[in-house]
């Protein structure tokens, strides 16, 4: 495989004016512990966002229930007024309790109020992309009906408050049902080197030109742990997490990564993964992780 271009080349969300580098940034970790409350060092979070954009990142993933409200307010502080090429993707379908509990709510009232929260806290007149998040945590809930949620966001799209619509934690049937209501420009599902249940769905989205944005690309709040991954990384002079990200970028041309961090050093490490080429021998070793090796994963709501 030829080495990736800067930030892994570019991808255009289907039917949109949005072309972004394939290596982006996920803002979830800018909140306090367990994605709740303010961070210990808000100024450091501002610096990370500014460093990401300075490095060429033009795709930021967020949600107003991170904090809640905190992360979007930090994004606004760091980057507003936004560069014309910056695409900010948010999601709806959940909220936080007074003690940080995660609740899922797909009512029209909640979805609309969450869009308004995103607009206010990001300081924009319209949201670039809104992902409607399905039920469940790390896997789509069979039988969940996305249609009311898609219809609720499509209503705001018609009002000019939402530019494009995505979907998260969905299976093929649910995506197809959503597409009958509105064009879907991206899918966010749990996917990484060790968790590849959606291989066929990923290929289907690639064939349609729809962006695939994996959540928990490195395993969740506990990193992927595998002897084979560590071996491959040592051979390449890279970190295991860099190799895991490089594998994702190699996996499919519609793959967009959004690794998150509140550290500028860690940010530089993540972005450097975009320039790692993988040999056939390394790819074969990494495929064995999924086929043979138990991998520890830790997940929470995203």
Catalytic residues: 66
Decide: 271 and 57 in contact? Cβ < 8 Å.
Answer: yes
192: helix, strand or coil? coil
Q: What are phi and psi of 87, to 5 degrees?
A: -110, 120
Using only C-alpha atoms, the chain has a radius of gyration, in whole angstroms, of 18
Q: Which tokens is 172 given?
A: 């093929």
Give CA–CA dist 36/63, Å, rounded.
Answer: 12
The residue to which tokens 């450091």 are assigned: 44
Decide: 18 and 12 in contact? Cβ < 8 Å.
Answer: yes
Q: Tell me the C-alpha to C-alpha distance, in Å, between residue 220 and each of 165, 195, 285, 297.
A: 25, 11, 22, 7
Decide: 147 and 177 in contact? Cβ < 8 Å.
Answer: yes
CB atoms within 10 A of CB 56: 13
* Sign of CA pseudo-dihedral 114, 118, 120, 125: negative
Decide: 191 and 169 in contact? Cβ < 8 Å.
Answer: no
């Amino acid at each position: 495989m030829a080495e990736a271009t800067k930030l892994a080349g570019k991808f255009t969300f289907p039917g949109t004016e949005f072309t972004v580098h394939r290596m982006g940034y996920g803002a979830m970790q800018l909140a306090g512990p367990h994605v709740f409350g303010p961070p210990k060092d808000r100024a450091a979070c501002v610096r990370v966002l500014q460093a990401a954009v300075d490095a060429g990142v033009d795709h930021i993933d967020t949600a107003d229930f991170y904090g809640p409200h905190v992360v979007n307010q930090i994004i606004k502080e760091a980057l507003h007024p936004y560069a014309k090429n910056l695409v900010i993707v948010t999601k709806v379908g959940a909220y936080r309790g007074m003690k940080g509990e995660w609740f899922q709510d797909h009512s029209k009232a909640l979805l609309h109020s969450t869009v308004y929260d995103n607009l206010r806290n990001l300081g924009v007149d319209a949201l670039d992309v809104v992902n409607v998040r399905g039920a469940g945590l790390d896997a789509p809930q069979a039988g969940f009906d996305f249609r009311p949620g898609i219809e609720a966001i499509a209503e705001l799209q018609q009002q000019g408050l939402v530019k494009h619509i995505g979907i998260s934690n969905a299976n093929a049937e649910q995506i197809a049902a959503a597409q009958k209501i509105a064009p879907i420009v991206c899918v966010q599902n749990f996917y990484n080197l060790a968790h590849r249940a959606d291989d066929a769905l990923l290929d289907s989205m690639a064939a349609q030109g729809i962006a695939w944005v994996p959540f928990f690309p490195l395993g969740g709040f506990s990193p992927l742990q595998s002897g084979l991954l560590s071996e491959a990384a040592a051979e390449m002079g890279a970190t295991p997490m860099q190799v895991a990200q490089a594998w994702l970028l190699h996996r499919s041309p519609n793959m967009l990564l959004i690794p998150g961090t509140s550290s500028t050093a860690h940010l530089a490490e993540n972005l450097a993964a975009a320039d790692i080429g993988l040999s056939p021998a390394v790819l074969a070793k990494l495929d064995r992780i999924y086929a043979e090796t138990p991998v520890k994963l830790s997940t929470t709501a995203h």
